[in-house]
Amino acid sequence: MGDKPTIAISHLGCEKNRIDTEHILGLLVEAGYSVDTNEDLADYVIVNTCSFIQAAREESVRTLVELAEANKKVVIAGCMAQHFQEQLLEELPEAVAVVGTGDYHKIVNVLERVEKGERVKQISVDPTYIADENTPRYRTTTEGVAYLRVAEGCDYGCAFCIIPHLRGNQRSRTIESIVGEAKQLGAQGVKELILISQITTNYGLDIYGQPKLAELIRALGEVDIPWVRMHYAYPTGITPDVIKAIQETTNFLPYLDLPLQHSHPEILRAMNRPWQGRVNDGIIERIKTALPEAVLRTTFIVGFPGETQEHFDHLLEFTERHQFDHLGVFTFSPEEGTPAYNLPNQLPQELMVERRNQLMEMQQPISLHKNCQQVGKIVDVLIEQENPQTGDLIGRSDRFAPEVDGQVYVQGKASLGTIVPVKITTADAYDLYGEVVMA
């Protein structure tokens, strides 16, 4: 143990990246490395980077530069390593290795080579790896929550998205593998499981010849975890069979994260998502009818090249009509290597920001109204944090996913990582406030 270097990990980016970070930690601990949260005490710092949009890259670069200025030996992992491998090695002499998105499971070998004086570039051109239930993992989320990757990569070619280039084609895990890991997580006390992939509704298409999300949902109904929710559900994949599986599976939350990106058929065609424009309204209405309790979240991109005021007005009207529970809005980010990068009629940043603000302002009273409907109700809340000074608790109801939605601020006593009944007393546009109901 003593002769191995100490490692710290700096995690950036999305929850898909977080799972990679957790496997890196698990593999290092299994191999006998000391892992320290304090970067100052570490011999090496592994930075698991994000390269999805410009803002994410800037955060990754800032982190790398700060570590370089502190004379830290840096291992650059993740999407940015996959994206800019040569430039990173050239511009950051402190970088002792770059490790791609399909190679993080080789981290122990990479460090062993670095220790022998080699400067390592470990990057598969077409990533094919996906971890399974036997891959060591050290969770970094709060006690009661875990993300579970059901597939990796993407076969779609959305004009704005660099992900297929960074993560490779879709590769799904088997239902048995996913259920096996879910059972392990349940045994660790996990109360909420969040299924993730690039397109969760396409789960299984590559290995079973057709999507198997409905079968997966039903299989997870047998696992002893009270809340299972799904992220990144493409609207076309919410088939009658999937809806029926959600209805029949008591621990599967009717929470649907539908990354619609836009509403106008012309913009969706330019985004290379033409199928979506034909189905948006019908599918959303069908979901609301079949699952009246469904919580709907979506994300939109404003300022895609060629977006006119008419296109944007269509999006405003669409948002107003469908009354989404939660909404995220991004400004278009031109990504080199994507078809949208060179499209004509790129919009000025100020106009994009103005449109984003306008859409979010329109959403606020909708979110407030949805939250106010919870006032007076007793809802289950997963307790995640406690303020040591005041004893106040913070958690989430099943209407809120971690990181992206609101929180519930709770008065009363409860243990971290438990689900307790809470009477909601007040609400604002983002959060709820309530008191623990004593048995």
Q: Write the single-letter amino acid at 211.
A: P
Q: Which residues of 38-55 are buried (b: 16+ CB within 10 A; e: fewer)?
A: ebeebbbbbbbbbbbbee
For residue 94, the SS3 value is: coil
> Would you say 79 is a known binding-site residue?
yes
List of E strands, 163-318: 171-172, 192-196, 227-230, 252-261, 295-302
Helix/strand/coil for 64 = helix
372 labelled binding-site residue: no
Helix axes 309-322, 349-372, angle to 10 degrees: 10
Compute CA 426 distance to the chain's CA centroid, rounded to the nearest angstrom: 29
CA distance 222 to 383: 24
C-alpha span between 87 and 71 (Å, rounded): 19
Strand 419-427 with 432-436, pairing: antiparallel
User: In terms of residues, how long is the chain?
Assistant: 439
Residue type, 425: T
Q: Is 50 annotated as a binding residue?
A: yes
In angstroms, rounded to a whole number, what is the distance separating the alpha carbons of residues 197 and 148?
9
Residue 355 exposure: Cα atoms within 13 Å on the Cβ side: 26
**Strand ranges inside 305-418, DSSP E:** 326-331, 378-386, 393-397, 408-411
Three-class SS of residue 8?
strand
CA distances from 366 to 201, 294, 301, 325, 363 (A): 27, 15, 19, 7, 5
Contact 8, 39 (CB under 8 A): yes
Task: Please give the Cα distance from 421 to 408 (Å, whole number).
Answer: 12
Q: Where is 35: in which H helix or E strand?
A: strand 34-35
Q: Give Cα 261 to chain centroid, integer Å.
A: 16
Binding residues for [4Fe-4S] cluster: 14, 50, 79, 154, 158, 161
Binding residues: 14, 50, 79, 154, 158, 161
